[in-house]
Amino acid sequence: MTDWTERAAPAAADIEALARAVLAELPGEFAARAADVILRIEDVAGEDVLDELEIDDPFDLTGLYDGIPLTEKSVADPQHLPDTVRLYRRAILDEWAERGDVTLGALVRNVVIHEFAHHFGWSDADIARIDAWWT
């Protein structure tokens, strides 16, 4: 049995390192299009985000893409804030502990790919059709 008395939960920097490793493995054309997206690690989504998405429990949201998908961008559009992917550390850790059937790296990988898929213009339905994880 593991002695957990001296262990701490993975920090934001640990989650970020896992996420950056996923981004480093993206194929060239996707990597180039993802390079300008800001990656942020936060503990949980703020009340404003939860209210906007009509989510009651902050542990139900593991990640969020905030931006204009590439398929909707136009040079004629006014300048938008930089596209951002947010990973919510405590929600990710909560899901990881609750599932118990995946590694933390695998969970972070799936959240990162899901959120960056939104950047590339994919809907939740598109993602679910090709990735059984989200169904």
Is 73 domain-assigned?
Answer: yes
Is 68 domain-assigned?
Answer: yes
Domain that holds residue 19: 9-134
- Note the pTM of the prediction, 2 decimals: 0.88
pLDDT given for residue 123 in this prediction: 82
> For the purposes of burial, counting CB atoms within 10 Å of the CB of 88, is it exposed (0-12), middle (13-18) or buried (19 or more)?
buried
What CATH number is given to the structural domain containing 24? 3.30.2010.20
pLDDT given for residue 1 in this prediction: 59
Is 1 domain-assigned?
Answer: no
For 7-48, write each residue's pLDDT tens digit.
Answer: 888 999 999 999 999 999 988 888 888 998 999 999 999 999
The total number of residues shown for the chain amounts to 135
Judge whether 39 and 89 are in contact, CB under 8 Å: no
pLDDT given for residue 135 in this prediction: 45
Q: Where are the alpha helices (DSSP H) in 54-103?
A: 89-99
Is 92 domain-assigned?
Answer: yes
For 73-105, write each residue's pLDDT tens digit.
Answer: 877 767 677 899 999 999 999 999 999 899 999
Is 2 domain-assigned?
Answer: no
Q: How many domains does the chain have?
A: 1
